[in-house]
Amino acid sequence: MLLSIGIEDASHTPPPPPAARLWWCHTVRMLILSRSNHDTLIRSANSSTSSALISSTTVPDAPPGPPDRVAVCFFGLTRSLRRHTFPSIREQIFNRLEEQGYEYDVFLHTYRVDMVENYRSGEHGVATDPHEWALLNPLRHEIEEQDAVDNELQFAMYERFGNAWSDDPTPGSLRNLLRQLRSVEHVQKLMEDYSKQSGVKYRYVMFARPDVRYEYPGLPQLDAFGFDDKNVGVAYEDRAAIGTMQGTKMWATRRASALSYMNDTIPARPLHSESLVRYHLTVRNNITVSPLPLCFQRVRSNGRAVFNDLVQCRKDAWRTSPWTYADE
C-alpha cells in the first residue's frame, strides 16, 4: 500500500532530475525486495509446522552478523523458568556472552502441557506457566502440544527394549527422553533454517535447557576450546552442548542412532540418554567429546533442585582427557 501511494504522488509532480529519478528507482526496488524476502520467510515458517504446532514466530531478521555471533538454542519444557531459573540464564549465559564480545540470537522449541507428572522427579500435578517461555525473547520459537506429539513418537518401538532407569518403574523417563530428542532436533532446525534464509553465520552454537539453574562462574571463555566440526563441548553429555554449527548438529541429531544403539549389543539393550550421546558421536561419527566446565542444577516444576548435578559437574568438568564410548 505504501508503494502504490508513492507512485500516485509521483505522477502529480514535475519529472525529477536524472539523479533524483535514479535514487527514487533504487528506493522502490529495495522496498520490493524487502517485501519479497519477508513473504518468503513467512511461507517457509508456515510450511514446516506440524499438526501439533501451537505457536511459532517470525520476527524481523537480525542483520547479518560478524563471525563472532552465537546461537543459543533452548529445548524441552520451560517448567521452572519464571520462578527459578531465568535469572541465572540471564546472568551466567547471556551476560557472559556479552562480556566475551559476542552478539547472540535465541531460538526455542518447547511443549505445551497443563501439568507436569513425573514419577522419577517427584512432580505430581504441578501446574505450568504457558507464557514463561517469552522471558527468553527468542528470535524464532516453536511450541507444540505434547499430547499430539506423543502420538507421533512411536513409544512402543523403544519400550520393547526395556527400561534403563531402575528408579522409575514407569515408562515415563524413556518417553521424556524421546520428547527431549525431538525437541533438540526441532530447535536445531529452527536455527539452521534461519541461518540459511538470513545469511547469518554463527561462530558457535549452544544448546541448553531452560529448566536448569546455572552456577557461577557460568559460561566459560569459548575461544579457549578450539572447537571445530569434529570436536563438541558438552556438559552432563546430554543436557548442554557448545561447538560449531556442524559439530553441534551431530549432537542434536543423535535420535537417528537410537535403534542402532539398542541393537548394537547381544542381547539388545534399552535406550539410555548419556550413552546414546557417546555412541552417536564417538562410535558412529568420530566426533571428539570434550567436557565443559559449566555447572548447573536441574530445577523441577515444584522448585526442587537436583543437588547431585553439582557433584557430577565438579567431577566431569575438570577431566583432563575427552570422554570415550567406554568411559562410564
Residue 77 predicted with pLDDT over 70: yes
What is the DSSP code (8-state) at residue 102? -
Which residue's entry shows cell 527468542? 138
Distance in angstroms (rounded) separating the CA atoms of residues 294 and 237: 11
Q: Which residues contact 81 (CB under 8 A, 6 or more apart)?
A: 89, 129, 132, 133, 135, 136, 210, 211
Q: Tell me, what's the pLDDT at 317?
A: 47
Which strands, in side-by-side order, build the sheet including 53-56? 53-56, 140-145, 103-112, 69-75, 204-208, 240-243, 231-235, 288-291
Instruction: Choose between 2 and 26: higher pLDDT.
Output: 26
Beta bridge partners, 145, equal 112
Q: Tell me, what's the pLDDT at 19?
A: 41
For residue 63, name the pLDDT band (cuts at 50, 70, 90).
Answer: low
The highest-level CATH class for domain 52-316 is: alpha beta
Least confident of 36-45, 160-169, 178-187: 36-45
Residue 154 predicted with pLDDT over 60: yes
Strands 53-56 and 69-75, bridge-based pairing: unpaired
Q: Which residues contact 222 (CB under 8 A, 6 or more apart)?
A: 70, 100, 102, 204, 242
Contact 301, 284 (CB under 8 A): no
User: Is residue 1 helix, strand or coil?
Assistant: coil
Q: Tell me, what's the pLDDT at 64?
A: 55
Q: Tell me, what's the pLDDT at 125?
A: 83
Q: For 23-46, how does the pLDDT look when each residue is reduced to its tens digit (9 = 90+)?
A: 334 443 443 434 444 444 333 334
% residues pLDDT > 70 (the chain): 75
Q: Which of 100, 83, 74 is nearest to 225 (CA)?
A: 100
Q: For 10-28, how does the pLDDT look when each residue is reduced to its tens digit (9 = 90+)?
A: 333 344 444 444 333 444 3
For residue 89, name the pLDDT band (cuts at 50, 70, 90).
Answer: very high
For residue 328, name the pLDDT band (cuts at 50, 70, 90).
Answer: very low
Contact 237, 324 (CB under 8 A): no
For residue 314, name the pLDDT band (cuts at 50, 70, 90).
Answer: low
Residue 289 predicted with pLDDT over 60: yes
For residue 303, name the pLDDT band (cuts at 50, 70, 90).
Answer: confident
Least confident of 5-19, 71-85, 192-206, 312-326: 5-19
pTM of the predicted model as reported, rounded to 2 decimal places: 0.77
Q: What average pLDDT score do residues 227-239 get?
A: 90
User: Is residue 10 helix, strand or coil?
Assistant: helix
Contact 130, 96 (CB under 8 A): no
Q: Tell me, what's the pLDDT at 55?
A: 67
> Which amino acid appears at position 267 of this protein?
P
Q: What are the backbone angles phi and psi of residue 156, rounded to the nearest 5°?
A: -60, -30
Q: Which helix (H) or strand (E) holds 248?
A: helix 245-252
Distance in angstroms (rounded) separating the CA atoms of residues 241 and 168: 26
- Mean per-residue pLDDT of the chain: 81
